[in-house]
Amino acid sequence: MGAGKVAVVTSIRWHARGGQAGRMIGGVFEGSNSPTGGCVKLATVAGASDAAWTTVLVSGAAPVRFLRYRGPDGCCCNVAEIEFHGSIQASGR
């Protein structure tokens, strides 16, 4: 987000690599205010499409500065693109 900014994530949209959507199931999108830890779960991948974008709504998320996708345990990450949607605001720090 840049120094001094955080975002409240309201939805996440992603596109799996072609033919690899099944490998994303169980993966987790997370947010944090530290680059080294303290992550909170924003959404878990319950399903994905090989041919289209998949969108999930996020509710009740606190403002975060760092965002990431963590692949499912014992599997590789096969996401081609990710978009985090929400509102960016000053962090007050």
Residue 42 CB neighbour total at 10 angstroms: 25
- Indicate whether 18 belongs to any domain: no
What's the pTM?
0.87
What pLDDT band is residue 61 in, cutting at 50, 70 and 90? confident
- Indicate whether 23 belongs to any domain: no
- Indicate whether 27 belongs to any domain: no
Q: Is the predicted pLDDT of residue 93 greater than 60, yes or no?
A: no
- Indicate whether 17 belongs to any domain: no
- Indicate whether 21 belongs to any domain: no
Range of the domain at 41: 5-12+33-90
Above pLDDT 70, what percent of the chain? 96
- Indicate whether 20 belongs to any domain: no
- Indicate whether 50 belongs to any domain: yes
Q: What is the pLDDT of residue 83?
A: 94
- Indicate whether 71 belongs to any domain: yes
Give me the number of domains the chain comprises. 1
* Span between the terminal Cα atoms of the chain, in Å: 13
pLDDT digits (tens, 9 = 90+) for 18-60: 888 888 999 999 999 988 888 999 999 998 888 899 999 998 8
